[in-house]
Structure 1
Amino acid sequence: MSPYTLYLVTDEHLSLNALVEVVEQAIAGGVTMVQLREKHHDVRAFIERANAIHPICQAAQVPLIINDRVDVALAVGADGVHLGQSDMPATYARRLLGPNKLLGLSIESWKQLEEAKQLPIDYIGLSAIYPTPTKLDTQHHWGLDGLAKALQAYPKPIVAIGGIRADNLANVASTGVQGIALVSALCAADSPKQAAQSLLREILSARE
């Protein structure tokens, strides 16, 4: 199974204890990668939260990806970094991270997708597939047709993100996309473990 298959992106509004519980449960349910996203915490809080969940990820051999911050990833020994378009350029991030860390980049347009082909990254996050309240500044929604075309155009793994829920998950997975990233479907679930089990079953079933 691809490490990108069921990709948890954490909700920065979770308390530290809730974050730990969500990550523990989601991994127990089958999540294959975790991205710690912290847009508004200071760097010390970011490091504290990363250190709290890193051992859980390590024990399960699930990669921990840090959103935006190369320095935080290096400080805690995380498995990689996911960059946005306004973050450190990927070439600089790769130089700092070395060749063995995972490096992802959010892609929001066809122009960015073409540029990504020349960058030293491991995967792209295609955003947003559908409209989503967690990202209000999105200019482009790929939809299923756009996702399918992107899969043909881009040679490395793609993680689909944005507005993906239990009721449209199968349609997204059936495109053959290598990964599906989810926030609220896991972080806001009554049981993240049961949610992850159900979501993973649906993804694998839709790929058959």
Structure 2
Amino acid sequence: MNLHPKFPYQLYLVISEKDCLGRNFLKVAKEAILGGVDIIQLREKNIGKKEFLQKALQLKHVTEKYNIPLIINDHPEVAEKADAFGIHVGNNDISPTSLRDQPFFKNKMIGYSIEYLEQLENEQTIISDYLGISPIFSTKTKEDTVTEWGIDGLTKIRSLTDKPLIAIGNINLENAEMIMKAGANSLAVVSAICASENPQKSAFELKNEILK
């Protein structure tokens, strides 16, 4: 089960309108929450700031209703204007240390993507609240990654840090339990829920794998 006191959100949905394959992303988010999703990240890579903020505010309306934290991917201004729970950044985004210098992010949750083992020793990891291990297995929903960690890589990272680890990358019902046993504290999913014909059922089944 691997419940981490600093990150008790075990099923982490990463959502975008594109990944919902034409369906209303707000409806998918609501169904996913009803199925057991604990936290949601809005990741919109190819739209303008104004549209991103509009979607963030719409999603915040849904997440607040169910008391689900909202994380914004890689956009400090949108995160602040939407009063998000936190932000997730990678190596090519604004750094966690820079974010901590901004008043809004002093006490907000900051996630940081790990693509190289060397990152575990840098200041950004120390400053961050949780680490995104990306990807565990390669996936078409995120093609700008460096290392495919696999189970062995995740196990190695787990042995080197006590930070909460959020595994992402081609996670599904078949490998969820195995990834949790390798040391993940949370499973981040995209297609397994967003592309599902029944997001609520898919979220429920994944949560049951986590809770085994």
TM bin, normalised by shorter chain, reads: over 0.9
Alignment partner of 1:125 out of 108, 132, 141: 132
Distance in 2 (alpha carbons) for counterparts of 1:185 and 1:118: 28
Amino acid at match of 2:13: L
Alignment partner of 1:187 out of 183, 194, 199: 194
Correspondence for 1:67:
73
C-alpha deviation, 1:16, in angstroms? 8.9
Distance in 2 (alpha carbons) for counterparts of 1:139 and 1:98: 27
* Residue pair 1:117, 1:154 contacting (<8 A) in 2 also: no
Alignment partner of 2:33 out of 22, 27, 32: 27
Distance in 1 (alpha carbons) for counterparts of 2:121 and 2:168: 19
Are 2:6 and 1:4 equivalent residues in the alignment?
A: no
Alignment of 1:96-175 (within 5 A): 96=102, 97-115=104-122, 119-175=126-182
Distance in 1 (alpha carbons) for counterparts of 2:125 and 2:194: 34
Structure 1 unaligned blocks of 5 or more:
none
Identity across matched positions, percent: 39
3-state SS in 2 of match to 1:160: strand
Amino acid at match of 1:159: I
What are the Cα deviations for residues 33-53 of structure 1, in whole angstroms up to 9, with x where unaligned?
100001001001101100111
Q: From the superposition, tell whether residues 192 and 118 of structure 1 become closer, same or farther in structure 2 (CA, over 3 Å).
A: closer
Correspondence for 1:93:
99
3-state SS in 1 of match to 2:139: coil
TM-score normalised to structure 2 length: 0.91
Q: From the superposition, tell whether residues 67 and 118 of structure 1 become closer, same or farther in structure 2 (CA, over 3 Å).
A: closer
Distance in 1 (alpha carbons) for counterparts of 2:22 and 2:74: 19
Q: From the superposition, tell whether residues 116 and 27 of structure 1 become closer, same or farther in structure 2 (CA, over 3 Å).
A: farther
Amino acid at match of 1:180: L
TM-score normalised to structure 1 length: 0.92
Structure 2 unaligned blocks of 5 or more:
none
